[in-house]
Amino acid sequence: MTTTSATPRLAVRHLTKRFGALIANDDVSLTIAPGELHCLLGENGAGKSTFSACLYGLLQPEAGEIEIDGVTAELTSPAKAIASGIGMVHQHFVLVPSFTVLENIVVGTGSGLRLDMTAARGRILDLSRQFGLEIAPDRLVADLSVGEKQWVEIVKALYLGARLLILDEPTAVLTPQESERLFAIIQQLKASGIAVILISHKMNEVMRSDRVSVLRKGRLVGTVTTKDVTRDDLTMMMVGRPVAQVHARSKPGAGETALSFTGVSLAKGGRTHLKNVTLDLAAGEIIGIAGVAGNGQDELLEAVAGLVRPDSGSIHLRGEDIGALSVHDIARRGVGYVPSDRFRDGLVSDFSIAENLILGQHWDERWRSGPFLDETATRRSAEQAIASYSVMASGPDMLCGRLSGGNAQKVILAREFAKARHLLLCNQPTRGVDIGVIEFVHGELLRKREEGCAILLVSEELEDIFALSDRIAVMFRGEILGIFPRHEADIARIGPLMAGHAHGAAA
């Protein structure tokens, strides 16, 4: 990789972005060559998304210069950024749910009032064929899975003619297979000279880049050539300390049955989400659900949380049938639920951290004094949560919409872990959190388990599943195809099941 010879695709000099007293990007300078895959690495709240937002014209830096292909660019709006050849896929989706895929891609792209939909459809199909992205132009975005939305976002950026593509944690929501496909696409993009900025907390992905820039507390710690460094070097640069990977764990206790599914089935919108699921989870046990996203994992957890009602079968929580209980009643029985889509299901962005921490429990005696909410009590508990989860925030009154992605996730974890006395439903708990926090979350989950809490863990990260589970269940099209004690489970047995090959006979 030679970056000195040609004009860089992107040159950023002395970029500084402040939010009030907080300096989110402090004098950051870097260059990216055409065809380079450049990773941004840093802890939650280090300023990666802020940096990308400045490049994409969503935020205006206080100081600094941006050059694209040697030309100074005034990126005062996304429209200008797009015109300069910058494309971006956001950490949180910005698609319009009630529009079709096609409409979402072409919205705002027409010249004048008329849009040539036929031509647009043709180009989109070409692009998706060229890069092997499976998208159906006429489906409603509301009906797409999280992973499918990601493809639409990427095709949209390509459709807009990006020469520099910024991907803010794209793989956080992709399955391992989809991530592989993304990297294949990136290879092709690189071959055609498109530069890619990739933000990821996953070290194995970071190691596949050409160069890595590490940010810490808004400052650029350094830019290194990836093949010259190890993962541990990068971790040190990023966190400033080595991060332990394994946690000691005790043998599973033979607890009583905390949660049991008996023949649970659910179909909606013409699709089978759960098919005759029968499963027992003991107190003090962690069952990891492995599977490609969209195979019923979300619905499995939602059914327990009371958000969807199964068509048949029953779910018992500590011996009690919860089929007729409301979401609130179930939560009050000591069930915590970490949803996969945190900004849609988990947080009110206009609320402060303190308020989000009591969301759903705002009628509880302990948060009230008389008819009013007890702000002293909620603030005090928020301060504790901020400290113990090291949420990077100005204080309990900071609005959650202003938190970085990983820090927002920590707020949800703090609330739900506290709620879960008997059962914790965890959907992608480590999505988008940095490795220091992953270590912390793993520790917390195991501590909960020691306390006798039963945990149902859904994660795209097989690393999470293998590191934490006592038993591993594989889901495919709503069905549990197999369940193994952890020591018997390995990728060779689980992989084929995840692809739906029921007897491990890979086609």
Partner 1 sequence: MIERLGYRIEPRSETTARGRTLAVGVALAASLVLCALLFLAVGVSPFAAFQSLAQGAFGTWRAATETLVKATPLIFTGLATAIAFRARLWNIGAEGQVFAGAMFAYWCQSALAGSSAWIQLPVIIIGAMVGGGLYAGLAAILKTRFRVDEVISTVMLNYIIVFALSLLLLKGPWSEAGGFFEQTAKVDPGSILPILFDKTRLHLGFLLALIAAAFVYLMIRKSPVGFEIRAAGSNLRALEVQGTNSRRVILMVMLISGALAGLAGMSEVYGVHYRLKAGAITSYGYTGIIVAILGLLNPWGVVIAAILFGALVNGATFMQIKTGVPSALIYAIEAILLLFYLAGWAASSFKLKRIKP
Ligand X SMILES: Nc1ncnc2c1ncn2[C@@H]1O[C@H](COP(=O)(O)OP(=O)(O)OP(=O)(O)O)[C@@H](O)[C@H]1O
Binding residues for Mg ion (CB under 5 A) = 49, 91, 404-405
Number of residues counted as binding ligand X (CB under 6 A): 19
Q: Between residues 158 and 400, which has the closer beta carbon with respect to ligand X?
A: 400
Instruction: Annotate 63-90 with three-state secondary structure.
Output: EEEEEECCEECCCCCHHHHHHCCEEEEC
Please report, as a single letter, which amino acid is at residue 102.
Answer: L
Question: Which of partner 1, ligand X, Mg ion, none has residue 288 at its interface (CB below 5 to 8 Å by kind)?
Answer: none
Q: Which residues of 480-505 are buried (b: 16+ CB within 10 A; e: fewer)?
A: bbbbbebeebeeeebbbbbeeeeeee
Measured between alpha carbons, how far is 195 from 127 in angstroms, rounded to an integer? 17
Please report, as a single letter, which amino acid is at residue 6.
Answer: A
Q: Which of 138, 113, 114 is nearest to 125 (CA)?
A: 138
Question: Which of ligand X, Mg ion, partner 1, none has residue 267 at its interface (CB below 5 to 8 Å by kind)?
Answer: none
Token reading at 434: 């940095």
Measured between alpha carbons, how far is 444 from 423 in angstroms, rounded to an integer? 14
Question: Site map for partner 1, 345-364, x if CB under 8 A?
Answer: xxxxxxx---x---xx-xx-
Shortest distance, position 151 Cβ to Mg ion, whole Å: 20
Token reading at 267: 């179909």
Question: Which of ligand X, Mg ion, partner 1, none has residue 47 at its interface (CB below 5 to 8 Å by kind)?
Answer: ligand X
Q: Work out which of 215, 305, 438, 489 binds partner 1, going by CB under 8 A.
A: 305
Q: Work out which of 59, 115, 125, 308 binds partner 1, going by CB under 8 A.
A: 59
| HSE-CB of 280 using CA atoms within 13 angstroms | 7
| HSE-CB of 298 using CA atoms within 13 angstroms | 14
Q: Which of 53, 301, 341 is nearest to 199 (CA)?
A: 53
Q: Does 327 bind partner 1 (CB under 8 A)?
A: yes
Q: What is the DSSP letter of 342?
A: I
Q: What is the DSSP string of 370-428?
A: TTEE-HHHHHHHHHHHHHHTT---S-TTSBGGGS-HHHHHHHHHHHHHHH-SSEEEEES
Shortest distance, position 46 Cβ to Mg ion, whole Å: 8
Q: Does 312 bind partner 1 (CB under 8 A)?
A: no
Binding to ligand X (CB under 6 A) within 22-61 occurs at: 22, 24, 42, 44-50
| HSE-CB of 501 using CA atoms within 13 angstroms | 10
Q: Between residues 24 and 426, which has the closer beta carbon with respect to ligand X?
A: 24
Q: Does 47 bind partner 1 (CB under 8 A)?
A: no
Q: Between residues 91 and 100, which has the closer beta carbon with respect to Mg ion?
A: 91
Q: Does 76 bind partner 1 (CB under 8 A)?
A: yes
Q: Between residues 352 and 404, which has the closer beta carbon with respect to Mg ion?
A: 404
Shortest distance, position 218 Cβ to Mg ion, whole Å: 13
Residues across the chain: 507
Question: Which of ligand X, Mg ion, partner 1, none has residue 345 at its interface (CB below 5 to 8 Å by kind)?
Answer: partner 1
Question: Site map for ligand X, 365-404, x if CB under 6 A?
Answer: ---------------------------x---------xxx
Number of residues counted as binding partner 1 (CB under 8 A): 35
Shortest distance, position 122 Cβ to partner 1, whole Å: 34
Beta carbons within 8 Å of 266's beta carbon, 6+ residues apart: 272, 273, 274, 296, 299, 303, 308, 309, 310, 311, 478
Q: Between residues 19 and 70, which has the closer beta carbon with respect to partner 1?
A: 19
Cα dihedral 202, 22, 412, 52 sign? negative
Binding to partner 1 (CB under 8 A) within 222-251 occurs at: none
Q: Which of 235, 366, 345, 245 is nearest to 298 (CA)?
A: 345
Q: Which of 66, 68, 77 is nearest to 25 (CA)?
A: 66
Measured from each CB, the residue nearest to ligand X is 406
Q: Does 67 bind partner 1 (CB under 8 A)?
A: no
Q: Between residues 76 and 312, which has the closer beta carbon with respect to ligand X?
A: 76
Q: Work out which of 407, 430, 459, 469 binds ligand X, going by CB under 6 A.
A: 407
Contact 255, 454 (CB under 8 A): yes
Q: Does 60 bind partner 1 (CB under 8 A)?
A: yes
Q: Does 170 bind ligand X (CB under 6 A)?
A: no
Q: Work out which of 337, 389, 417, 440 binds partner 1, going by CB under 8 A.
A: 337
Give contact residues for partner 1 (rule: CB under 8 A): 58-60, 76-77, 305-307, 326-332, 337, 339, 344-351, 355, 359-360, 362-363, 368, 371-373, 375
